Structure 1
Amino acid sequence: MITHRLIRAVQIAALLVPCTARAQVTDSLSGGILRFMGYVDAYHAYDFGHSQDDNRPPFLYQYNRHNETDLNLGLLHLTFEKPRVRSAFGLMAGTYPQANLISEPELLRNINEARVGIKLSRNRAIWIDAGVFTSHIGMESAIGIDNWTLTRSIVAENSPYYLSGARLIWTISKKIEIAVLHVNGWQRIRRIQNNTPCFGTQLLWTPNNRVKLNWSTFAGSDTPDSLGFYRVFNNLWFSWEKGAWGIQLSLDAGLQQAEGDSWNEWAGAVCIMKRRFGERFAPSGRIEYYTDPSQVMVPTGTPHGLTAFGYSLGLDLLVAPDAWVRLEGRTFHGVDALFESIHGTTQDNTAITACMAVRF
């Protein structure tokens, strides 16, 4: 199935690529630029728990297959920009979209991005975009090499990677950017029937080239309106880099209506540190905590839900321009016996992941 989808995506991209050079020449005369980007991320993950179905824990969507060499993400992406018009279109395949977009209609599961935007002001950087676009929530991306660690944190895996709808972005200055979003749901391309669209906001502050501080919100329901279950979510993250050192901190907190007047809560926190040695080597470390006792995001059937600590150590090696080899060891420790193994369920899960990634 995944091979078939990859072939289909490549066939479509093959039709687009020969047009790229012509479009660059033609559109440059009218003030537009067409850019092409490709990304391939292949991996092998070994889970010492040896789950019976060869899947990593179900709350992981990236690098989620055990003891097989596979494609996590293959991406072909086009962007077009003019002074007051912009658009993007990307097709993807791999175990990541296969796992993360399983609830979408089959025809839409290979879409990474499909949006068009118009600049609303001649003098101010105010844009409105509509379509499928990258989520405004979180500091981590579906594209692995844009992240400091090989695998994604639990909070990133269980908050939206993408959204569908419309967004208004205003870059007030080089330091401040704000956004307001009207979307079809919590990581949904197609809106659930009888569901009111959801809303989000973002405030990004970049005081200098070393520091970023971001606050993102989401409000709405991921179920039909007749069921209620209104959801409110906040994400706050901070990034600092100076010289060879860097640190990232992220805090997530969510509320969702339950039966009656009660609310269920979940939350997570992440700390990532990295240290570069020259241009080629960059080790990293991560500590994380996630708690979802009411099983809003991850159903486990255990007394405390997904309540766990996570730890990882990784190493990135730049082998050529835009080509990386990445290694990571990662372990989880849960309050309950959450993780499948050949000996039954256990509180602990450990895995080693290696990947090769190229961007072109």
Structure 2
Amino acid sequence: MAPDLAPHLLRLLLTQLHVEGGVDASYAYNFNRPVSDVSFLPGTGTTARRHDEITVNLASLGVSLSPEPVGFRVLLGFGTGIDVLHRAEPEEDATGPDVWRYVQQASLAFAHGPLTLEAGIQPSHIGLESFQSQLNWTYTRSWMGEFSPYYQTGLKGTWRFDERWSAQLHLLNGWQTIGDNNGGKALGTQVAYAGDRLSAAFNTFVGNEGAGDTEALRLFADTVVTWKATGAVSLAATADVGRQDHALWYAAGANVRVQLASPVAVTARAEVYRDRDGLISGTAQTLAEGTLTLELKPAEHLVLKAEARHDRSTRNVFDSPARQPQTLLAVGAVATF
């Protein structure tokens, strides 16, 4: 390489790199005053998990390069949310929660025409909600969000038929896992439509989950529909159904978001989650929750949220003297750059 070419390429690379980050902090009060100070079920509670405590759910720092045609994204995370995120990682040689604890995303991408290929740890194709709080209508996640993958590891191919229709095919290690605890791989698919007012996606997951005697084929389908009814009112509906061996679970949720003024919005959410055999939540139960969220965006990179949430279960699953139901108040602030 010519001596004068290397600095030019380095400057070009630096101008195309995108540095990102942010802090998601919150305070939550559970009126049941849980004994353990934990308001959510094991393996859930990626925001506002701790009762009567100011905490950092997520502090992020990352760097990315758009695939033109080759790119990448590395995003690290620290806090209570990232700790919950990786708890199900299989403990094996060179993998496990301690190995991957601070990784949100680490992926390579190649784009050519309508085709994009990605490999590595990347956001899940399943569900309405993101692990990034500022991208969600509410502050706490739905049970559907907490009990389905936020991330996945493997290969993803995306084909854009036109500006509205696209399809994805995934070859994955498993269900929200970086390491693999069995000999099988999983397949995921998505067919999506993105219109001016209506957007919809149908997502699937098929693959063996568990290890040893518990290993069995998991079949899962997820549907997400959003509709911008007016300039101020948006609606979202989600539905899930899954089966593994003889275990069955299914859920449905609805969201209504009203933009009251330029910086102010209100979102109401209602959801029912039926875990008939306790495979997903750990207890055979039906969970129901209702959430009301007030959002204020005083600046482009700052989102403030205040939220009231009420949860019920058909079993005594919440860790508190009163056990169930429970009511939670939370305030959160997310600053990004």
Mark yes or no: TM-score above 0.5: yes
Match of 1:18 in 2: none
Match of 2:202 in 1: 215
Task: Output the amino acid matched with 2:302.
Answer: A
CA contact (8 A) 1:89 1:115 kept: yes
**Distance in 2, Cα, partners of 1:335 & 1:272:** 23
Match of 1:19 in 2: none
Kindly state the Cα deviation for residue 103 of structure 1 after the two structures are TM-superposed.
3.3
Alignment partner of 1:330 is 2:304: no
**Which string of whole-angstrom CA distances, capped at 9 and with x for unpartnered residues, describes residues 322-354 of structure 1?**
1121000000122222222124x33x0110010
Match of 2:318 in 1: 339
Unaligned runs of 5+ in 2: 1-7, 90-95
**Distance in 1, Cα, partners of 2:214 & 2:257:** 44
CA contact (8 A) 1:56 1:64 kept: yes
**Distance in 2, Cα, partners of 1:166 & 1:329:** 39
Match of 2:261 in 1: 278
**Distance in 2, Cα, partners of 1:140 & 1:159:** 10
Task: Output the amino acid matched with 2:196.
Answer: N
**Distance in 2, Cα, partners of 1:335 & 1:240:** 32
Runs of 4+ off more than 3 Å = 22-25, 225-228
Q: Secondary structure at the match of 2:281?
A: coil
Alignment partner of 1:312 is 2:299: no
Alignment partner of 1:99 is 2:84: yes
Equivalent of residue 53 in structure 1, options 36, 53, 58: 36
**Distance in 1, Cα, partners of 2:127 & 2:10:** 33
CA contact (8 A) 1:235 1:251 kept: yes
1:1-360 pair list within 5 angstroms = 25-27=11-13, 33-58=16-41, 60-62=44-46, 63-104=48-89, 105=96, 106-119=98-111, 121=112, 124-192=113-181, 194-206=182-194, 208-224=195-211, 227-241=214-228, 242-257=230-245, 263-300=246-283, 305-343=284-322, 345-346=323-324, 348-360=325-337
Match of 1:17 in 2: none
Q: Secondary structure at the match of 1:277?
A: strand
Match of 2:93 in 1: none
**Distance in 2, Cα, partners of 1:287 & 1:255:** 23
The 1:341/1:82 distance shift into structure 2, 3 A limit, reads closer
Match of 2:4 in 1: none
Q: Secondary structure at the match of 2:82?
A: helix
Provide the aligned C-alpha RMSD in A.
1.7
**Distance in 2, Cα, partners of 1:177 & 1:323:** 31
**Distance in 2, Cα, partners of 1:203 & 1:330:** 32
**Which string of whole-angstrom CA distances, capped at 9 and with x for unpartnered residues, describes residues 151-198 of structure 1?**
111000000000001111111111111000001110001111x32111
CA contact (8 A) 1:39 1:76 kept: yes
**Which string of whole-angstrom CA distances, capped at 9 and with x for unpartnered residues, describes residues 17-58 of structure 1?**
xxxxx9883227xxx821111121100111111111111121
**Distance in 2, Cα, partners of 1:195 & 1:290:** 30
Q: Secondary structure at the match of 1:341?
A: coil
The 1:271/1:327 distance shift into structure 2, 3 A limit, reads same
CA contact (8 A) 2:68 2:110 kept: no
CA contact (8 A) 1:43 1:353 kept: yes
For CA contacts below 8 A with separation 6 or more, give which structure has more relative contact order: 2
**Distance in 2, Cα, partners of 1:140 & 1:251:** 13
The 1:37/1:24 distance shift into structure 2, 3 A limit, reads farther
CA contact (8 A) 1:202 1:217 kept: yes
The 1:289/1:24 distance shift into structure 2, 3 A limit, reads farther
CA contact (8 A) 1:184 1:198 kept: yes
**Distance in 1, Cα, partners of 2:198 & 2:88:** 37
TM-score by length of structure 2 reads 0.91
The 1:251/1:82 distance shift into structure 2, 3 A limit, reads closer
Task: Output the amino acid matched with 1:249.
Answer: A
**Which string of whole-angstrom CA distances, capped at 9 and with x for unpartnered residues, describes residues 48-105 of structure 1?**
1111111112153222111100001111121112421121000001111111212332
CA contact (8 A) 2:38 2:319 kept: no
**Distance in 1, Cα, partners of 2:172 & 2:244:** 18
Identity %: 26
CA contact (8 A) 2:28 2:52 kept: yes
**Distance in 1, Cα, partners of 2:68 & 2:303:** 34
Q: Secondary structure at the match of 1:149?
A: coil
Between the two proteins, the alignment pairs up a number of residues equal to: 320
